[in-house]
Amino acid sequence: MSKLTKIIVIVAAVIVILLLAGYFALRSFLTPTYMRTIAQKMASEAIQRPVQIGRVGMRISFGIGITIDDISIPNTQEFSAEPMMEIGKTTLSVKLLPLLSRRVVISSITLDGVMINLERNRNKELNFAVLIPRETKGARWNVSLAELEIKKSELRYSDALTRSQYVVSDINQKVRFRRNKIMVSGKLQTDIPKSKNLPSLQINLNNALEYDTVTKSFDIRHIAIRSKPVQLNVSGKVVESTVLDLKGELGIKNISELKELIPRESRPEGLSGAVKADLTITGTTNEPKIDGRCEINNVSVTLKGMTRPVEKIDGEFAFGLSAIRNMIIQASIGNTVFNIEGGVSSLNKRPLLDISAVVDGDLKDFEGLTNDLKDISLSGSVASDITLKGTIDNLRYLGNIKISGARIEGIGMEKPVSNLNLTGTFQEKMLRISTCNGNIGRSDFSFGAEVSNFEKPIIQLKNRSKYIDLDELLPKTKKGQQPKGKPLPMTLRGSVSITKLTGMDMEFKNINTDFEYKNGIIDVKNCRAETFDGQVYLDFYYNANSPEPYQIATRMQSVAAEKILQRFLHFDRLKGDLSGQADFQGKGLDQRSVLSNLNATGNLKFFKGEFSNFPFLTKLLAWLGLKDYKNVQFNNLLCSFKIADGKTDVQDWTFSARVGDFLTSGRIGLNGNLDLRVAATLSKQHSGIVKKYHGDWIFFDDKQGRTVVDIIVSGSFASPVFKLDRNRVKERLSGKIKDEFKKKAKDFEDQLKNLYERWKP
């Protein structure tokens, strides 16, 4: 037998002898009753609470141990009935040599299947707060731990105030004690329940660290935290429990799995790509310093309300606790490329931005990008360089923008905007547009402007156009249908000068006006124009979202009566100059719509005019006995009217001609139907003709010897029916009715004079 073999045999024999000696020593004094008494006393004295234990046994393998089954610690009063702690199996490893002197020295403890019930009540008290461990030592036993192991254990936390529950499960931790070192390693799993804004979460932790009780320093070999899809690894040292020297690695291989963690109100429609970061943590626990670097790889995000993603987001930036630095990021929307550089400081206070962006692409890439841009067709090149400086609520803008050859269709206009060219400069809080020109069909525009409030742009402009065609601006709609497209989400206001404007069978020249366009509503104020051979002043209101009714307030001065009546009423029998005021509200500006839906009020004056072959007047005079009066000239015609849904109430209508003075009231339908009362004061010459023609009538003569005839008119303009109003004649003869013509004429003149003064530009 070799020398080595002899040594091994001797050592083995010694070990066997020790085990046998220990075993017989244990058997001699560690009876089951004695072990149970020791275990129960150790636990009860340690935590100062009664402890229930199950079966107590002995285990002998490569060492000697005491096993205790089913330890249970009851809960504190005023908490739940569940035990505060339950331990399925506890193994106490016992040192051999002390057993020979009949002493039990526990070197390690293994806890298997621990269930801890941690609670907080409505008084903010913890059930564990009453546990104050004390040194555990008896006459023949003590604890000299070298190792503590916890296996397959679980901790449940319940909060009566917040009604929340958390579970830390699969706890497997091993604690080793070596002189002044405590080493902890293992793993555990934490489950966070689903909340209003977040789904349920599972966090897994693996750890290996060492604590020096003399220097009070931690040596973190690794702490790995994983909550799908985030992986965080931390290593390093914490010297004297205060000085930090740590390194960390963060990795998110697929950020699409982060979607459910983002609050629902701001959760993106789509998210993909990868993010990783490296960081160092230095400083102290009171004032930590973080210095890190983050990489973004092929990220794509579709923000809420967007129909397509911002994609191909790649880049990197450095970061700390209070700043993002050296940011270089590139992103795309379609073929439009964004290059972003800069940083953000004061993250822990009021974030301060210093970011520059360069954009180069095509407006087509923004087509239908958001709900506001849905149904809007876009094209044309766009290039911009812009710098943002300041806080979120007080941003300043610097840079330039240029749009070339653009086309915009579907913004509530009949024709698209084409050949759009724009050059502008960002200055502090606004965009100054030095040049913007283009076409809408045959119409042209050219203006400079200032744009503020970039979230919902407000544009103040001065426009000059050589030619505008309203038919190419205002959309044509069929009954029951809304126009296609959506109005631009912006406000336009300012002044417009137009050399020539046509549309709706009208022509205007030398137009000057103020206007506002907001959310599809056009509101024109103080418009002056030359049309119908005269001057017109008007206000115009039109809603492209719900284009009926429109509203027009007009003031006319010396316009051609024949042309304007022909345009709106298809009436060409009246010539002369027209002045006055009329307010219109209707459902369309074509003749059919005007005739059937118009609502209006007004006061009009025609002067130095002529009724030319007007059947109604010709037949009225013929009925009176005045034959062959096809053309009737007049000095002035004054009219006060009201139109409701195509029916006209002629409140007063006076005109003076060579044959006499006429005062008319009643109703004239725009379809030509009549319901009128006419008082005709004939000249002396024509009074004699009428008396001779109607010898059977009773006549009233005024002080000048002029005959007054009261007439009831029905039928239509084409086929009027006349009847003598005998009741009114009797009232005149009895003196109940005075001469009203001069009074009405003066009232009209005063009203028109006041209107002219009020609307004077």
In this prediction, residue 752 carries a pLDDT of 46
Q: Find out whether 559 and 533 touch, Cβ atoms under 8 Å.
A: yes
Would you say residue 144 lies in a domain? no
DSSP structure class, residue 368? T
**What's the Cα-to-Cα distance from 743 to each of 162, 290, 411, 491, 517, rounded to whole Å?**
85, 92, 53, 49, 45
Please report whether residue 554 resides in a domain. Answer: yes
What does the alpha-carbon distance between residue 59 and residue 41 come to, in Å, rounded to a whole number? 20
Q: Summarize the confidence of residues 520-530 as an average pLDDT.
A: 87
- Report the pLDDT averaged over residues 681-701: 86
| Model confidence at 210: pLDDT above 80 | yes
Residue 466 lies in a domain: no
Can you give the pLDDT at residue 75? 85
State yes or no: pLDDT of 549 exceeds 80. no
Distance of alpha carbon 554 from the chain centroid: 39
Which helix (H) or strand (E) segment is 90 a member of?
A: strand 85-94
Q: Which residue has the higher pLDDT, 98 or 203?
A: 203
As a whole number, the mean pLDDT across the chain is 82
Residue 141 reports pLDDT greater than 80: no
Q: pLDDT for 620-647, tens place per residue?
A: 999 999 988 888 888 888 777 777 765 6
Give me 155's structure tokens.
């901790």
Residues 581 and 567 sit within 8 Å (Cβ to Cβ): no
SS3 content of the chain, % helix, strand, coil (to 5): 15, 55, 25
Is residue 434 domain-resident? no
237-264 average pLDDT score: 89
Q: What percent of the chain has pLDDT over 70?
A: 80
Question: Residues 691-719: what's their mean pLDDT?
Answer: 86
Model's pTM, two decimal places? 0.67
705 part of a folded domain: yes
Locus of tokens 């006209």: 648
Residue 222 forms part of a structural domain: no
Pick from 303, 237, 292: nearest CA to 270: 303
For 321, other C-beta atoms within 10 Å of its C-beta total 14
| Mean per-residue pLDDT, 559-568 | 74
User: Residue 176: which of 87, 93, 61, 241 has the closest Cα?
Assistant: 93
Give the span between the Cα atoms of 350 and 356, in whole angstroms: 19
Residue-level pLDDT at 199: 78
What is the per-residue burial (b if ≥16 Cβ within 10 Å, else e) of 274-301? bbbbebebeeeeeeeebebebebeebbb
pLDDT digits (tens, 9 = 90+) for 29-49: 566 676 677 666 666 665 566
Confidence (pLDDT) at 439: 94
| Cα angle, residue 442 at apex, residues 438 and 448 outer, rounded to 5° | 25
Range of the domain at 728: 548-758
Between residues 548 and 248, which one has the greater pLDDT? 248
- Domain annotation covers residue 251: no
Task: Tell me the per-residue pLDDT of 313-362, one tens digit each, with 9 for 90 and over.
Answer: 999 999 999 999 999 999 999 999 999 999 999 988 889 999 999 999 99
Give residue 649's pLDDT: 63
Please tell me which residue, 588 or 377, carries the higher pLDDT value: 377
Q: What is the mean pLDDT of residues 190-194?
A: 81
Q: For residue 505, count other CB atoms closer than 10 A to its CB.
A: 12
Nearest to 649 by CA among 665, 663, 667: 667
Note the pLDDT of residue 574.
74
- Determine, yes or no, domain membership for 675: yes
Ramachandran angles phi, psi of 33, nearest 5°: -70, -40
Per cent of the chain over pLDDT 90 is 28
484 compared with 202, residue with greater pLDDT: 202
Q: Are 259 and 268 in contact (CB under 8 A)?
A: yes
Number of domains in the chain: 1
More confident residue, 704 or 263: 704
Q: Is the pLDDT of residue 759 over 80?
A: no
